[in-house]
Amino acid sequence: MKKFINNVDDFLKESLNGFGKAHNNIIKVNFEPNFISRNTKTKEGKVSLISGGGSGHEPMHGGFVGHGMLDAACPGFVFSAPTPDQMQAAAEHVDSGAGVLFIVKNYSGDIMNFQMGAEMYSGKNDSIITNDDVAVEDSTFTTGRRGVAATVLVEKIVGSLAENGGSLEECKKLGEKVNKNSGTMGVAFTSCTVPAAGKPTFDIGNDEMEFGVGIHGEPGRKREKIQPSKTIVNNMLEAILDDLKPQKNEKTLLFVNGMGGTPLTELYLVYDDACEILKSKGIEITRSLVGNYCTSLEMQGASITLLKGDEEILKNWDSPVHTAAMRWGM
Amino acid sequence: MITETKEYMSVNFLISQAKNIQIVINENAAEIEALDQNIGDGDHIFNVQRGLKLVVELENDIKNLPLQKGLNMIAMKVLSGIGGSSGALFGTFFMSMAKTPDLDKDINFKKACEMVITGINAMKERGKADVGEKTMMDVLIPVSEKLNELKSGNTDMKEGLSEIIKIAEDRMLGTKDMLATKGRASFLGERAKGHIDPGARSSQLIIDTICKSLINQ
């Protein structure tokens, strides 16, 4: 394992320390229990948004704390759900009385810990669960699909509504709509290495890729030989379109997300391929996002998310945001 | 008849069991990690190890406390110190054990069984998982059912504990050919088949360790 590490046990703490110092104009890092909050008090009447999850997906979620997005983020250990006391403390810290909306990715550990945190918090609160990954089937016998990159879009769009005075109910409703209108598919070329494990999460051949990989290096649909980008992107989009079934000429946001180890150069190439393929299918791309937003440590690979955007979604996407990882309009 | 002269549940009992379990889990860590990397995301063993370390380190803070307080402190430590599914589930286990009535009285075998049954029921509720879903509950639920039978029946305790060891092992091995429907492994469908569930393996090792130490007491 080659990583910038002093001591494995201090990995998260030291990284959070650096994050706090680098972005002290926007956020503050609280330790024991760990949470990142804005460095300003929540406006009276504004619903607070709190997300969180295992670390290793940076900038998600701490990088999305700030004006127009989250009020707080609770980082767990690498790839491990945060603990209920973190959510409780974050909620007590940020809630201005208008209530707290927890944004939770669909993993057993996250769901359980957020549920317990919500039970321990005495103020008004509700939760939304993201499950945009189309790689794995949803059925009555499963805990369902994984929550992945569309969580970024949910946090941005609901964050805007909350900033503009949306109620807890309205925020939840919009978040659920964004989640439902999104589909994501990921591909990995290499594994990630969890610092505590010290070795790659999975073995993969030099000429192989994992199609439908999860953001923790979990296996996806199949292992196959690597192909030209156009073929890979086409297969990814097909999986998404099968699920989302957009109308012809429906407006969409196209989000190409890096898994952490793939350069932007390649991500833009993927974006180009995706544009061409979507255009040929008569799907209109009206908004874009390209970059490393929902990562899997140093994994090489990318995910594509397509969001069907109605007027409400696009308006809230465009509104000003100022966080460590996303900034426009202010 | 169940003999009532031994210690079945106390703060010191819990700490000494945690120490025993720590040794066994550490010995089997590589195997559990490998199981998790096959079908999960590889964090289970670290979470279990971290949790055991935290509980063992609590010894000086809790050794003189009454059982209920000790259990609550263990619960909060596990809940806030582990994370992942294991933290929530084991935290829930200790928290609900602490809610069993009459913990200030002497704890006999029957009462200890009741506490464990209460704890496992709460885990089942929290994880919304039942048997047959390729999780640790595949081991824990049948164990809880057997404890329920033991506490109300006339089986010899040692014999009963030996049966529990067997049940835990059979059920752990039984997860191998299951399709996962809960937890990270559930995302894999058919690909999860052929691998023992890591949570089932760690739970089986925990039960095995406790039962053996009770039998040899």
- pLDDT at residue B165, as a whole number: 98
- Stated pTM of the model: 0.90
Residue B10, helix vs strand vs coil: coil
Answer yes or no: are the C-beta atoms of B208 and B2 closer than 8 Å.
no
Task: Give the separation between CA B32 and CA B55, rounded to whole angstroms.
Answer: 20
Question: Residues near B9 by Cβ (< 8 Å), separated by ≥ 6?
Answer: B67, B107, B111, B112, B115
- Helix ranges restricted to H, A148-281: 150-163, 168-180, 229-244, 264-280
Query: What Å distances lie between residue A250 and A255, A275, A282, A283, A325, CA to CA?
Result: 16, 14, 8, 6, 28
Residue A112: which of B18, B42, B129, B187 has the closest Cα?
B129
Instruction: Give the DSSP per-residue string, A44-64.
Output: TTPPEEEEEEEESSTTTTGGG
Residue A105, helix vs strand vs coil: strand
More confident residue, B45 or A182: A182
- pLDDT at residue B8, as a whole number: 80
Binding-face residues of A in 111-150 toward B, CB within 8 A: 112-113, 115-116, 135-137, 141-143, 145-146
Answer whether B132 touches A (CB < 8 Å): no
Q: Which residue has the tokens 């919500």?
A: A118
- pLDDT at residue A248, as a whole number: 86
Candidate from B42, B82, B183 with C-beta closest to A108: B183
Residue A76: which of A100, A110, A28 has the closest Cα?
A110
Average pLDDT over residues B84-99: 93
Helix (H) or strand (E) holding A76: strand A72-78
**Residue B3 in domain:** no
Q: Which residue has the tokens 């833009």?
A: A268
- pLDDT at residue B6, as a whole number: 65
**Residue B203 in domain:** yes
- Selected for mutation to probe chain B from A57, A108, A184, A213 (highest B CB count within 10 Å) is A108
> Domain residue spans in chain A?
8-180+317-328, 182-309
**Residue B208 in domain:** yes
pLDDT band for B1, please (50, 70, 90 cuts): very low
What's the fold here for domain A182-309? Hypothetical Protein Tm841; Chain: A;domain 3 (3.30.1180)
Answer yes or no: are the C-beta atoms of B69 and B91 closer than 8 Å.
no
Average pLDDT over residues B93-120: 92
pLDDT band for B129, please (50, 70, 90 cuts): confident
Please state, as a whole number, how many other Cβ atoms lie within 10 Å of the Cβ of residue A34.
24
Phi-psi region of B107 (alpha: psi -120 to 50; beta: other; left: phi over 0): beta
pLDDT band for B186, please (50, 70, 90 cuts): low
- pLDDT at residue B154, as a whole number: 82
**Residue B6 in domain:** no
What are the backbone angles phi and psi of residue A200, rounded to the nearest 5°?
A: -55, 145
**Residue B191 in domain:** yes
Joined together, the tokens standing for residue B150 give 């033991």
pLDDT band for B188, please (50, 70, 90 cuts): low
Instruction: Give the DSSP per-residue string, A106-129.
Output: S-HHHHHHHHHHHHH--S-EEEEE
**Residue B170 in domain:** yes
Average pLDDT over residues B30-47: 82
The structural domain count of chain B equals: 1
Examine the pLDDT at B208 and tell me if it is beyond 90: yes
Domain of B98 in residue numbering reads as 11-215
Joined together, the tokens standing for residue A38 give 């804005």
Low-confidence residues in chain A, pLDDT < 50: 139-142
> Do B79 and A85 lie within an 8 Å CB cutoff?
yes
Query: What Å distances lie between residue B116 and A116, A166, B111, B143, B211, CA to CA?
Result: 20, 46, 9, 10, 13
**Residue B163 in domain:** yes
Instruction: Give the DSSP per-residue string, A166-185.
Output: --HHHHHHHHHHHHHTEEEE
- pLDDT at residue A142, as a whole number: 47
Catalytically active residues of A are: 57, 216
Residue B30, helix vs strand vs coil: helix
Task: Give the separation between CA B40 and CA B185, rounded to whole angstroms.
Answer: 5
pLDDT digits (tens, 9 = 90+) for B152-172: 888 888 999 999 999 999 999
Answer yes or no: are the C-beta atoms of B87 and B51 closer than 8 Å.
yes
Q: Which CATH number fits domain A8-180+317-328: 3.30.300.30, 3.40.50.10440, 2.60.40.1080, 3.30.360.10?
A: 3.40.50.10440
> Do B80 and A76 lie within an 8 Å CB cutoff?
no
pLDDT band for B190, please (50, 70, 90 cuts): low
- Selected for mutation to probe chain A from B35, B39, B41 (highest A CB count within 10 Å) is B41
Average pLDDT over residues B63-76: 95
**Residue B4 in domain:** no
